Amino acid sequence: MTDFGAVANDGKDDYEAFAKAVKAAKAQNKVLYIPAGEFTLSRLLTIDSIRVEGAGMNATVLMSTNPDWGSIDLIGSGVQLRNLKHEYQTTIGRGNGAHDKNSITVRSASNFVIDNVYVSKSSTAGIMMAYGSNNGVVSNSIVEKTGADGIHMTTESHHITVENNTVMGVGDDGIAVVSYGTSPAPVNNITIRGNTVGNFSKARGISVVGGIDVLIENNKVSDTMMAGIYISVEGSYNTLNVDRVKVVNNTVNHTGIQEPQNHPNVLVYGGTGTIDNVEFIGNTITDGAHRGIGVWGGGTIKKVKFEKNTLVNTRGAATTFENGKITLIDNIGF
């Protein structure tokens, strides 16, 4: 990177040097290495089909100075971003939620990797995967202080694993799968595993709002303002149906804090459309701020199974099952 004129820690714009380096790395099929230090970016940076690697998430810092247009966009096949921090110098209101204000935006990329990356501050999402992005991994990363969701998958994205990340203090959901009615196909084949989510994030911990074939496994969710785990079809956002979601061996503690919504720790909400084949197996659900588990809504809720879960609830109702074909097997505390 320094061969192209980028200078660390001088506060001057390094965008042109970065753009030249990215172009050269692609042409030569080489890894682009960014050394330790803070580099300044005045605008959105696009990385196409190459591996970009820093000296560590606390060593290499990319500082974006334009809160309206500062995303690091990943496109193409085999694109990778590793071992660095991306931070915005300042943020603005979420407003229209434009992707240009995300920290990292994966746009129609395939076989992508985001690993050991520290996302600190953005006006919209932390890590956004959209437009059919597929066969990717987001792992071992930290996301904090975002204006919208921490990690978000939408618009036909599929076959993605989100694993071993820490998502804290974000402006909306921690990790979200969202399929809008304007998409020809739902988000599908998603694995959300081994993540730690919470620290007073402003909405849900882990959510599936329209999606098919989603596994939520071995995560720790705590201290979110809305439900810790939320499975839903929402009419207000025109989302697609939910089918085949497994929630396995997670811990959910003290979520649903915000009043007057009073969410339970775990909520299946059918606002419209159809929810079917949702399974909760082996989860530990404790200390809900207002109640334990809820299944309700005016939409169509079909099969929802709870098996071998442990519920420790001291406030409000332990369970509120108002809709759906509920199957209960060997649970404790229901």
Question: How far, in Å, CA of 164 to CA of 139, rounded?
Answer: 6
SS3 per residue for the chain = CHHHCCCCCCCCECHHHHHHHHHHHHHHCCCEECCCEEEEECCCEEEECCEEECCCCCCEEEEECCCCCCCEEEECECCEEEEEEEEECCCCCCCCCCHHHCCEEEECCECCEEEEEEEEEECCCCEEEECCCEEEEEECCEEEEECCCCEEECCCCEEEEEECCEEECCCCCCEEEECECCCCCCCEEEEEECCEEEEEECCCCEEEECEEEEEEECCEEEEECCCCEEEEECCCCCECCEEEEEEECCEEECCCCCCCCCCCCEEEEECCCEEEEEEEECCEEECCCCCCEEEECCCEECEEEEECCEEECCCCCCEEECCCEEEEECCECC
**Cα separation values, 146 from 67, 133, 194, 300, 318, Å:** 12, 21, 21, 33, 32
Do residues 296 and 323 make contact, with C-beta atoms less than 8 angstroms apart? yes
The size of the chain, in residues, is: 334
Do residues 257 and 284 make contact, with C-beta atoms less than 8 angstroms apart? no
Q: What is the mean pLDDT of the chain?
A: 97
What confidence category does residue 99 fall into, taking pLDDT thresholds of 50, 70 and 90? Answer: very high
Question: Per-residue pLDDT tens for 19-40?
Answer: 999 999 999 999 999 999 999 9
Q: Return the pLDDT at 1.
A: 80
Is there a cis peptide before residue 186, judged by omega within 30 degrees of 0?
no
Question: Per-residue pLDDT tens for 203-239?
Answer: 999 999 999 999 999 999 999 999 999 999 998 999 9
Q: Is residue 140 over pLDDT 90?
A: yes
pTM for this model (two decimals): 0.97
What confidence category does residue 101 fall into, taking pLDDT thresholds of 50, 70 and 90? Answer: very high
In a domain, 271, yes or no: yes
Backbone CA torsion sign across 233, 125, 120, 26: positive
Q: How many CB atoms lie within 10 A of CB 28?
A: 10
Q: Return the pLDDT at 94.
A: 84
In a domain, 296, yes or no: yes
**CATH label of the domain that carries residue 143:** 2.160.20.10
Of all residues in the chain, the percent with pLDDT exceeding 70 is: 100
Q: Return the pLDDT at 170.
A: 97
Copy the structure tokens of residue 117: 């990356």
Q: Which domain holds residue 119?
A: 40-329
In a domain, 10, yes or no: no
In a domain, 29, yes or no: no
Copy the structure tokens of residue 86: 């991306």
Do residues 79 and 53 make contact, with C-beta atoms less than 8 angstroms apart? no
In a domain, 30, yes or no: no
In a domain, 334, yes or no: no
In a domain, 12, yes or no: no
What confidence category does residue 96 fall into, taking pLDDT thresholds of 50, 70 and 90? Answer: confident
What confidence category does residue 69 fall into, taking pLDDT thresholds of 50, 70 and 90? Answer: very high
CA triplet 56, 57, 62: central angle to 5 degrees?
Answer: 105
How many distinct structural domains can be found in the chain? 1
Q: Return the pLDDT at 8.
A: 96
Copy the structure tokens of residue 68: 């309206």
Of all residues in the chain, the percent with pLDDT exceeding 90 is: 95
Q: Return the pLDDT at 93.
A: 84
In a domain, 70, yes or no: yes
